[in-house]
Amino acid sequence: MAIYLDSAIASEAEIARRMGWVKGITTNPTLLAKSQQPPETTLIQLASLTPGPVFYQVTAMDYEGMIAEGQAAYEIIGNQTILKIPATPVGFEVVASLSWEITCSVTAIYHPIQAAIASEAGAKIAIAYVNRATRLLGDGIALVRDMAAILKGTDTEILAASIKSPEEAALALQAGADHLTLPLAMLQAIATHDLSEKTVAEFNQNGIGLKTLELAPDINTDMDLDMDMDMDI
């Protein structure tokens, strides 16, 4: 499993890098536009801020254009590239041509049969837009479950995107998603639980740890006594 940052903002990528458990970055044309600099610059920056993959979504609509754009992304960030190719007839052709040389994912999957084609075309990853699918079709988690059933036994993995809550993130994984991509706020949200914070605060209020030993004279005294007794023996 990998959890990715869904953003093209360098400062967010830096925060995700420090988290240590975020394994790469996914982008799309809208996210790249928000970085307010040429996409080439952003891709180089993002690639330097993660040891893992950087997903780039092609914007061309025709076969030659998608191939050229995919190769251009690969020239910029090399082996860190994972291309996002749309789940369209032309997109599937592009995946079949490019997946031999560049890692490809198929994005914007709304029907499980599209995942089967993505796999047959050679895509390493099939991307489901979970919350969007719920809004547009009724049940994005069911889409992930159906995709997982179809992709079982293949080399194609499922990346769940468009996740709007920690619950939805957990449900997507339980339904068979292999990976998640989340905006920074959602990464922070899944790492935080009120009860975890409260439980730790309670332990710390009533107990001691290494850094508190010197500050607890009674306990130091007991320890000294124990040590003296040990030495006498």
Ligand X SMILES: O=C(CO)[C@@H](O)[C@H](O)[C@H](O)[C@H](O)COP(=O)(O)O
What residues act catalytically? 84
With binding defined as CB under 6 A, does residue 56 bind ligand X? Answer: no
Measured from the CB of residue 147, what is the shortest distance to ligand X in angstroms?
14
* C-alpha distances in Å from residue 63, one per residue of 33, 49, 58, 228: 23, 31, 11, 81
With binding defined as CB under 6 A, does residue 6 bind ligand X? Answer: yes
- 84, with CB counted inside 10 A (0-12, 13-18, 19+), is buried
Contacting ligand X within 71-90 (CB under 6 A):
84
For residues 40 and 64, the answer to whether their CB atoms sit within 8 Å is: no
Stretch that binds ligand X, among 15-23, 62-70, 127-135, 138-146 (CB under 6 A): 127-135
Closest to ligand X by CB, 84 or 145 = 84
Stretch that binds ligand X, among 58-66, 114-122, 124-132, 136-144 (CB under 6 A): 124-132
With binding defined as CB under 6 A, does residue 184 bind ligand X? Answer: no
- 45, with CB counted inside 10 A (0-12, 13-18, 19+), is middle
Measured from the CB of residue 146, what is the shortest distance to ligand X in angstroms?
18
With binding defined as CB under 6 A, does residue 121 bind ligand X? Answer: no
With binding defined as CB under 6 A, does residue 181 bind ligand X? Answer: yes
CB atoms within 10 A of CB 36: 9
With binding defined as CB under 6 A, does residue 35 bind ligand X? Answer: no
What is the rounded distance in angstroms from the CA atom of residue 133 to the CA atom of residue 142? 9
Tell me which of 112, 156, 162, 180 binds ligand X, using CB under 6 A. 162
With binding defined as CB under 6 A, does residue 103 bind ligand X? Answer: no
| Residue 164, token pair as written in the block | 């709007």
Written as one letter, the residue type at 178 is: D
Residue partners of 219: CB distance under 8 A and separation at least 6: 208, 213
With binding defined as CB under 6 A, does residue 160 bind ligand X? Answer: no
Classify residue 79 by its DSSP letter. G
Q: Which residues contribute to the site for ligand X (CB under 6 A)? A: 6, 26, 28, 55, 84, 107, 127, 129, 131-132, 159, 161-162, 181
